[in-house]
Chain A
């Protein structure tokens, strides 16, 4: 039986009226008036099958050739088979690249600031109404070493007013004032 025939087609193609089973004959009788009509339908069915089975027309190579001439494949691209290991290599490269990128991403920039200290300024203060008259204050400041390429500039904050040094000229003037008692 050809695939998925409906039941009537199957019966018409396979059985004459007298070959039908009782149940099939009852079923067919719901569709046709009797043996004469069934046999006429069977004849038509078989003739149609025979008629269409003998189709003489066949496509030829020239037709395919003409078709190829007329069809322009859209955006033809070169397709080549890849060697079997290429996918593995690509995957390995991708993983390595990802790992390297991950390393770069997590690394935080570090600031190296070497520190050295030196004596910068000598402060001389003189307070006339205190027990001590002179005091030398050594102020330490932080400076970056010169050989560091990643050195950050040292910003020397302004010193408090009371700890600022005075010049020699100012000192002499102060002493004059003290002598004269005008301070």
Chain B
């Protein structure tokens, strides 16, 4: 076609405009690009609740697509999308403050029984790691998910969180240190 590029060749911003002009297939392409990573982000951030993550995904897509005028042209669409998702999660935390506190209270350090050789497998370890991440504050958890799940650069993470890049770096470093200390016992058992 001489005058119209294929939808998959368009940038994210162009796709949003096309969708606004009534081309519903633009949503399919945006969903293909961002549906999976955004859902994983939300799943990690919203207590690993699949249904909640799916609802949040819909809400965020609707927010982004129905109010494209809020898109800052100087900002990457993906960064803006994650910033919207991050704010959504913060609101959810606020709403569910009691539940969050209750959940965090349930997190216990690994017991001797947990660390008993036969019972200790990767599933238990993964659950324990999830708990350790939940113990971290909202900001640290977001940094971890954006870094390891979404594989964003440190600069992008700083943009999403609207904080200096140095803050992200230092937070990440201290977070690794805390996790290293907490995972020490698991390492010994798993290596045995």
* Chain A interfacial positions (CB closer than 8 Å to B): 2-4, 6, 8, 12, 31, 37, 40-41, 43-45, 47-49, 51-52, 54-55, 57-59, 63-64, 66-68, 70-79, 81-82, 84, 87
Contact = CB atoms under 8 A, between A and B. Distances in A.
Contacts of A40: 180-181, 183-184, 187
Contact of B169 (A6, A41, A43): A6
B2 interface: yes
Contacts of B173: 8, 31
A63 B35 contact: yes
Contacts of A31: 173
A48 B172 CA distance: 12
Contacts of A64: 27-28, 31, 35
Contacts of B53: 57
Interface string B156-178: 00000000000001001100110
A84 B2 contact: yes
Contacts of A4: 153-155
B43 A81 contact: no
Contacts, number: 114
A81 to B, nearest CB: 6
Interface in B1-16: 1-4
B109 interface: no
A25 B31 CA distance: 44
Chain B interface size, as a band, is 35 or more
B144 interface: yes
A74 B66 contact: yes
Given A49-B148, A57-B43, 19 more contacts: A40-B180, A41-B177, A43-B187, A44-B179, A45-B176, A51-B129, A55-B43, A57-B40, A58-B36, A58-B39, A59-B31, A59-B39, A63-B54, A63-B57, A64-B35, A67-B58, A71-B62, A72-B66, A79-B22
B3 A82 contact: yes
15 contacts: A3-B153, A4-B154, A40-B181, A43-B180, A48-B179, A51-B126, A51-B130, A51-B148, A54-B126, A57-B43, A63-B35, A63-B54, A71-B27, A71-B61, A79-B21
A76 B23 CA distance: 7
B58 A70 contact: yes
Nearest to B41: A55
A44 B176 contact: yes
Contact of B3 (A58, A70, A76, A87): A87
Given A48-B179, A81-B1, A55 B40 contact: yes
B81 to A, nearest CB: 14
A59 B154 CA distance: 26
Contact of B62 (A49, A70, A76): A70
Contacts of B39: 57-59, 63
Contacts of B62: 67, 70-71
B24 A68 contact: yes
B149 interface: yes
A52 B31 CA distance: 21
B4 A81 contact: yes
B151 interface: yes
A49 B155 CA distance: 19
A85 to B, nearest CB: 10
A58 B130 CA distance: 19
Contacts of A76: 22, 24
